Structure 1
Amino acid sequence: MIGTLNTTAMDCPVPVENARFYQALLGGYVSPEEDTDWVNLFEPSGRKILSFQRADDYTAPTWPDNTIPLQAHIDIRVDSYEDAEPAVQAAGGKLIDDSDEHPDFRVYADPIGRPFCLVLS
């Protein structure tokens, strides 16, 4: 081993807005809020969990056809979709796939179109 994971950085057009979306789902705090090019999301304990960097030419992946590849996504473990989905939608996310083919997860898009999954515990 040469180190530990520091963060997962994601491109987006407005870092603080994308960080706030994931903060609404995962809790914690966003800092520094004044930086328009790089924003971090921290757990309440202070451990950095995600980072968001400005990419003015960001293009959302197309899922499931992969014309524009997914590249990476986040899975968020939840106890039930019924409890979690209203919070996702209130934060600006939307359901894009709840197919019976995969009952253990549902695919959502964040406000800029990046897919992520809610996974049942």
Structure 2
Amino acid sequence: MVDYPQMLHTVLDALNARELADFYRHLLNLKYRPGDEPAGAEDDPDWLVLVDDAGVRKLAFQRVDELTPTTWPRPDVPMQLHVDFTVPSFEELQRQRARAESLGATILLDRTDNQDEPLYVFADPAGHPFCIFVA
């Protein structure tokens, strides 16, 4: 029998871990791991974890002192990593676009005219790219 590593969660670097965690918490309807909830005005954590309703870890956020956002689609600073999210319909894609933007995302690419796989590529508030598309 061979044991394999199991994925625990994906970690995103951020200048402000709380701000980026809150963005994804609202975007994906996740919650903080017990003990990671905001602690008041002095709250500046180095590490936070978001979980789903069953308590399964989904995303983690690590505070860094320096972060160079991607310049994608220009090749100067590549994506290095991005996360894909799917929705069931074009109408839901439009609803999620509006939600993402209201939470602080910016659109990097609008490919909604593609009949096979309409999508948006966004940058989160820290500059990390992510996609939402119809699957």
TM over 0.5: yes
Query: Is 4-13 or 32-41 further displaced after alignment?
Result: 32-41
Cross-structure match for 2:7: 5
For 1:27-106, list aligned pairs within 5 A: 27-31=29-33, 32-33=36-37, 34=39, 36-79=45-88, 80-99=92-111, 100=113, 103-106=117-120
Q: 2:128 aligns with which of 111, 114, 120?
A: 114
Cross-structure match for 1:15: 17
Residues 24 and 87, structure 1, Cα contact 8 Å, conserved in 2 = no
- The one-letter code matched in structure 1 to 2:20 is N
Deviation, structure 1 residue 72: 0.3
Q: Which runs of 5+ in 2 are unaligned?
A: none
Q: Which runs of 5+ in 1 are unaligned?
A: none
Over aligned residue pairs, what C-alpha RMSD do you find? Answer: 1.7
Cα deviation 1:1-25 (Å, max 9, x = unaligned)? 4221011111110111101101111
Q: What CA distance in whole angstroms lies between the structure 2 residues aligned with 1:37 and 1:23?
A: 17
Q: What CA distance in whole angstroms lies between the structure 1 residues aligned with 2:28 and 2:56?
A: 13
Q: What CA distance in whole angstroms lies between the structure 1 residues aligned with 2:32 and 2:133?
A: 24
Residues 77 and 120, structure 1, Cα contact 8 Å, conserved in 2 = yes
Q: What CA distance in whole angstroms lies between the structure 2 residues aligned with 1:64 and 1:120?
A: 21
- The one-letter code matched in structure 2 to 1:95 is I
Identity %: 32
Residues 25 and 88, structure 1, Cα contact 8 Å, conserved in 2 = yes
Q: What CA distance in whole angstroms lies between the structure 1 residues aligned with 2:126 and 2:13?
A: 10
Normalised by the length of structure 1, the TM-score is 0.90
Cα deviation 1:54-96 (Å, max 9, x = unaligned)? 1111111111112112110011111332111111011111212
